[in-house]
């Protein structure tokens, strides 16, 4: 499929770019998307949650009352979970939420996400995205020219460009990512995916 290339002033340039049908026009696999997004969110979890169980509480271990005959619950010590200030029963412990997925499945998920965006007319190809200095004002001007200043966008650049990243990092609804770090969650989380012209080739090389 062909896509017109816009310049930074929002006007169509004379050149067009061909988007591979094997990436931007496949039948989306919803289950692959689900697994990839689930993994992305799980890998972001710190897993540092911890509550004190009865072994972590400071206090006497003396049995505070007899086992039977009181009419209340049995208690071994003041650290028992039945008392205020006692340990928590089966509380959260530090753990790692990460899990692995096959590389082929992750590629299918990214292709599916990009295909969804292409069907929704949510992909914009732009040429000439470069800055001599990181100026947020200039970046906002480009978004305004592209009529994307009120949209949640994902900008995909061909390589890590420090000036583009710094120019966009203060904007609430804008995220910049290098083409080789593109993930399913970011694609689906954005209203529009703005792809730099030189990033198209990188995406196709990785996902094919």
68-114 per-position pLDDT tens digit: 999 988 899 999 998 999 999 999 999 999 999 999 999 999 999 99
- pLDDT given for residue 133 in this prediction: 87
Residues 14 and 81 in one domain: no
Banded pLDDT at 17 (limits 50, 70, 90) = confident
- pLDDT given for residue 10 in this prediction: 80
Residues 79 and 175 in one domain: no
Give the domain range for residue 189. 2-45+98-207
* Torsion sign, CA atoms 34, 17, 131, 146: negative
- pLDDT given for residue 9 in this prediction: 84
Banded pLDDT at 8 (limits 50, 70, 90) = confident
Residues 62 and 109 in one domain: no
- pLDDT given for residue 54 in this prediction: 92
Residues 142 and 198 in one domain: yes
Compute the distance between CA of residue 148 and CA of residue 142 in angstroms, rounded to an integer.
9
Residues 38 and 71 in one domain: no
Residues 141 and 196 in one domain: yes
Residues 183 and 124 in one domain: yes
% of residues, the chain, pLDDT over 70? 100
Instruction: Tell whether the model's pLDDT for residue 13 goes beyond 80.
Output: no
Residues 139 and 189 in one domain: yes
């Amino acid at each position: 499929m062909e896509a017109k290339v816009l310049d930074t002033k929002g006007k169509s340039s004379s050149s067009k770019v061909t988007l591979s049908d094997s990436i931007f026009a496949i039948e989306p696999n919803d289950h692959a998307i689900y697994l990839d997004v689930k993994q992305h969110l799980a890998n972001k979890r710190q897993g540092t949650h911890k509550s004190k169980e009865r072994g972590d509480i400071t206090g006497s271990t003396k049995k505070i009352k007899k086992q039977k005959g009181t009419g209340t619950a049995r208690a071994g010590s003041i650290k028992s979970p039945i008392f205020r200030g006692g340990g928590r029963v089966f509380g959260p412990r530090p753990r790692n939420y990460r899990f692995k997925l096959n590389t082929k499945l992750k590629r299918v998920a990214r292709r599916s996400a990009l295909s969804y965006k292409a069907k929704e007319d949510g992909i914009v190809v732009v040429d000439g995205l470069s800055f001599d200095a990181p100026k947020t004002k200039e970046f906002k001007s480009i978004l305004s020219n592209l009529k994307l200043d009120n949209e949640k966008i994902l900008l995909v650049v061909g390589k890590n460009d420090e000036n583009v990243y710094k120019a966009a990092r203060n904007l609430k609804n804008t995220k910049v990512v290098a083409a080789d770090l593109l993930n399913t969650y970011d694609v689906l989380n954005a209203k529009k995916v703005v792809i730099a012209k030189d990033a198209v080739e990188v995406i196709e090389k990785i996902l094919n």
